[in-house]
Structure 1
Amino acid sequence: MPHLRIEYSENMAGRFDGAGLAQAACDALLSSGVFNPPDSIKVRLIPVQHFRVGSGADHGFVHAELAMLSGRDKPTKQRLTEALVLAMSGLIGPGGQIVQITADAHDMDREVYAKRLLPVA
């Protein structure tokens, strides 16, 4: 916890470095002071091959979906999503289409979330 899934349209290929984007998003969460220990943060990038913008325009997107254990207030969630959008925006290079960069945060129910750490062999 937390889990950060960053989906992006495949037409964004070449406009950002995936490892750099994952690092910047992780750094944004770490610098918030909300999550501890640092290794609790998991970030993954997921390319989306098939997508459509309502008008059919050739827009690109990067969307971060932050799932975290319940109990944080809305101002904290807003601060986190704004930090993610800012961090990701700075890493998108120029290209031939408009890019929508968005983030959302939602709660995972503490009563049903399960986790198990396996020791090193």
Structure 2
Amino acid sequence: MPQITVDYSERLADGFDRPAFARDLHTAVVEIAAAKPPACKTRFRHTEDVVVGPDTDGHALVHVHIGLLPGRTDDTKARLTETVLELLRRYVKAEQGVTLHASAEIRDLDASYRKFEE
């Protein structure tokens, strides 16, 4: 915990500083949501096809999912979500003429969540 997944349009690959984003995101999760630094795990998944409304061109998407163990207040989750959006503004640069659609969601991990490390 936390489990962080970042889905992003393939066309953002060159304009998205993923290592720096993850580093600063982990710092924010520790400061805002009281996570432990070694527990922060982020995976990035690029998507090839993006359609926004009727358009198949001119758009790029990035969405950050953060799963936390239950117990954080709605205010804490909202503060973390706003911080994620600020970090996306800093670390994602869409090419000229491309509209960037950025979003984030903080959710509680299900009670069935388990993990192990070896």
What range describes the TM-score normalised by the shorter chain of this pair?
0.7 to 0.9
Q: Under a length normalisation based on structure 1, what TM-score does the superposition of the two structures give?
A: 0.85
Alignment match, 1:100: 101
Query: What are the ranges of 5 or more consecutive residues in structure 1 without an aligned counterpart?
Result: none
Return the TM-score normalized by structure 2: 0.87
Please tell me whether the aligned partners of residues 63 and 104 of structure 2 are also in contact (alpha carbons under 8 angstroms). Answer: yes
Backbone CA RMSD of aligned residues: 1.6
Of 50-59 and 101-110, more deviation after overlay is shown by 50-59
Which residue matches 2:44?
Answer: 45
Q: Give per-residue Cα distances to partners, 1:65-88, cap 9 Å, x unaligned.
A: 011112222111101111111112
1:94 shift after superposition: 5.1
Partner Cα distance (1:72, 1:31) in 2: 13
Partner of 1:18: 18
Given residue 48 of structure 2, which amino acid in structure 1 is its aligned partner?
A: Q
Identify unmatched segments of 5+ residues in structure 2: none
Contact kept? 2:12, 2:94, Cα under 8 Å:
no
Report % sequence identity: 28
Amino acid corresponding to residue 12 of structure 1 in structure 2: L
| 1:31-79 C-alpha deviation (Å, 9 max, x unpaired) | 32521x2111111111011221113142111110011112222111101
- Larger proportion of helix: 2
CA distance in 2, matches of 1:105, 1:70: 11
Name the residue aligned to 1:80. 80
